[in-house]
Amino acid sequence: MSIPITVCHYPPGTSKWNKIEHRLFSFISLNWKGVPLINYETIINRIGATQTRAGLKVQAVLDRHEYEKGIKVSDKELEAVRLRRPKFHPEWNYTILPP
């Protein structure tokens, strides 16, 4: 089953003002305060246990897959990727459509 994947980026230089990131990471930091981060499992469990009174709940999963490095994508392969760009900031946002 193939599904479209929508990707939304913030404009360059704006992530440091992203209110969601600031709220999320401050609660994650509070949640692991005083806990020795001795392995990936501890980190994933502490991040995954994060929630706020406002209803924010965090899911965290460790991806243990090893990915091959240095894979080159040809111009022809890249042209074959089906993209749909919205009217709102198409330079930052797009949907990757199934083949």
CB 4 within 8 A of CB 92: no
Q: What is the C-alpha separation between 15 and 61, in angstroms, rounded? A: 23
Q: Can you give the residue ranges of every domain in the chain?
A: 5-64+73-96
Structure tokens at 79: 């042209």
| Nearest Cα to Cα of residue 8 among 79, 97, 98, 85 | 85
DSSP per-residue codes, 3-39: --EEEE-PPTT-GGG-HHHHHHHHHHHHHTTT----S
Each residue's pLDDT tens digit, 56-90: 888 899 999 999 999 999 999 999 999 999 998 88
Other C-beta atoms within 10 Å of 47: how many? 19
User: How much is the average pLDDT of 7-35?
Assistant: 76
pTM: 0.52
